Chain A
Amino acid sequence: QQQVKQSPQSLIVQKGGISIINCAYENTAFDYFPWYQQFPGKGPALLIAIRPDVSEKKEGRFTISFNKSAKQFSLHIMDSQPGDSATYFCAASIEYGGSQGNLIFGKGTKLSVKP
């Protein structure tokens, strides 16, 4: 059972455009939703994260939108740049209640930004 579903698998965007990646989760106990960015040959690195008490979080060109009732969250990359070309993973975990915080990942979206 896949607890975090991510789409699309791949995405091609022109430089300056908006990249949008969507994720849906099933477990309502999840209370921490990070996005990770991974470049080839490297480990994933935290990009931005949100908790369900807010509906949106923005850091520079990156924005997470969160819809608790729909159990969905998305990453928006504004003014996409060729340097943003990477694989993006959404994830979810349980922060409280003694949980250790192991991350449940989506299957990833390979983003290519064309110059």
Chain B
Amino acid sequence: GAGVSQSPSNKVTEKGKDVELRCDPISGHTALYWYRQSLGQGLEFLIYFQGNSAPDKSGLPSDRFSAERTGGSVSTLTIQRTQQEDSAVYLCASSEVGGADEQFFGPGTRLTVL
């Protein structure tokens, strides 16, 4: 079956613009995670969804970041008024029910803010 897909694969934007990143999880997976991978910083947890609810948003770095999930499936991560420090690879992962279930990662969206 299809894995986790993300779009776009690359996004170049100008400082101050808003961007939307999309994640399509594996069908039937109720848990969805967003992570950010910066050079030299490893992967940082951003937000967790269980169904359409986000019980843990603790990793979002500022109020410029928001995310939603609809229909228990597709999720969108929105970054408003982008800054250069937002440049990173944004990774989405899904798992069957959460907890210690294996998380399957998408290929990521590389965001470059000029």
Q: SS class of chain A's interface: helix, strand, loop or mixed?
A: loop
Q: Is the CB of B100 within 8 A of A105?
A: no
Q: Which of B56, B105, B106 is in CB contact (< 8 Å) with A102?
A: B56
Q: How far is the CA of A56 from the CA of B59 in the complex (A)?
A: 31
Cβ contacts under 8 Å, B59 to chain A: 102
Cβ contacts under 8 Å, B40 to chain A: 107
Which of B13-21, B64-72, B73-81, B91-99 lies at the interface?
B91-99
Give the tally of cross-chain contacts (CB within 8 A).
65
Cβ contacts under 8 Å, A43 to chain B: 4, 91, 93, 105-108
Known contacts: A42-B107, A45-B105. The answer to whether A103 contacts B43 by CB under 8 A is yes
Which of A61-69, A71-79, A92-100 lies at the interface?
A92-100
B27-41, CB < 8 A from A: 31, 33, 35, 40-41
Top-5 shortest CB links A-B: A43-B105, A95-B100, A107-B42, A105-B43, A32-B100
